A and B are shown apart, each in its own frame.
Chain A
Amino acid sequence: EPEVTQTPSHQVTQMGQEVILRCVPISNHLYFYWYRQILGQKVEFLVSFYNNEISEKSEIFDDQFSVERPDGSNFTLKIRSTKLEDSAMYFCASLRTASTDTQYFGPGTRLTVL
């Protein structure tokens, strides 16, 4: 069964450094998402992406964040200058079409900012 993959599974970085989290969505899916979960808290929407552009973003998704689909298969989330409060689990998800109902999640990347 096709699945969403994410790399790395765990990333440790120093405050102020740039990180890129990578995701490979399911191949025939058209909508892509990033969510964040701070430890012990609920999962929060960051951004949705469709047709090579952001379709919606949350208040969390400020100028430090960017997303890209560089090669038609990967979907990346970049944090330009990490802060301590960026430490969280980051989930990528994909959805086949607007009329289907299920977003499939990747296993997540645990980001630790020191």
Chain B
Amino acid sequence: AQTVTQSQPEMSVQEAETVTLSCTYDTSENNYYLFWYKQPPSRQMILVIRQEAYKQQNATENRFSVNFQKAAKSFSLKISDSQLGDTAMYFCAFMSVTGANSKLTFGKGITLSVRP
């Protein structure tokens, strides 16, 4: 079974600064997807960024980028130029490639506060 670990429960960052959120996972599979989801106070789950395990290049999406270290099973999210609207809970998630096992396994999440 896969597990996803987010060991930092909370982080705080000054507006316009950069922050990195950590995530590690455990799996015996070789091909899978990793995601970061954002959950603002509205509790909607919003996809931030995704990474395919077979791609060595780290995914980027505007101010969001990941540092994917497959051998270390590490998948951190970097938010550059933090904005007040980035204040939210962030969940790291794992998904197997095969359709029958395509459920998402989530970490416990991290609460990010962006200070003005």
Residues of A near B52 (CB, < 8 A) are 101
* Known pairs A91-B45, A101-B52, A108-B44; A42 contacts B99 (CB<8 A): no
Tell me if A102 is interfacial: C-beta within 8 Å of chain B. yes
Chain A stretch 27-56: residues in CB contact (< 8 A) with chain B: 31, 33, 35, 37, 41-45, 48, 50, 55-56
CB of B104 within 8 A of CB of A35, answer: yes
Closest Cβ–Cβ distance, residue A111 to chain B (whole Å): 12
Tell me the nearest residue of chain A to B105, going by C-beta. Answer: A45
A19 within 8 A of partner (CB): no
Q: How far is the CB of A41 from chain B (nearest CB, A)?
A: 7
Query: Is B101 interfacial (CB-CB < 8 Å)?
Result: yes
A91 CB contacts on chain B under 8 angstroms: 45
Residue of A31, A89, A101 near B50 (CB, 8 A) is: A101
Q: Which chain B residue lies CB-closest to A101?
A: B33
Does B7 interact with chain A (Cβ within 8 Å)?
no
Partner of B45, one of A31, A55, A105: A105
Rounded to whole angstroms, the CA-CA distance of A105 and B104 in the bound complex is 11
B37 cross-chain contacts in A, Cβ below 8 A: 105
Partner-binding segment picked from B16-24, B66-74, B106-114: B106-114
Please report B residues at the A interface, Cβ cutoff 8 Å: 33, 35, 37, 42-47, 50, 52, 91, 93, 95, 97-109
Contacts A43-B93, A97-B99, A101-B33 aside, 10 further interface pairs with beta carbons under 8 A come to: A43-B104, A50-B100, A56-B100, A98-B98, A98-B99, A98-B100, A99-B97, A101-B50, A105-B45, A107-B43
A-B contact pairs, 28 of them (CB 8 A): A31-B102, A33-B104, A42-B91, A42-B107, A42-B109, A43-B45, A43-B91, A43-B93, A45-B104, A48-B102, A48-B103, A50-B99, A55-B100, A56-B100, A89-B43, A91-B45, A95-B102, A98-B98, A98-B99, A99-B99, A103-B95, A103-B102, A105-B37, A105-B44, A105-B46, A107-B42, A107-B44, A110-B43
Residues of A within 8 A of B (CB): 31, 33, 35, 37, 41-45, 48, 50, 55-56, 89, 91, 93, 95, 97-99, 101-105, 107-108, 110
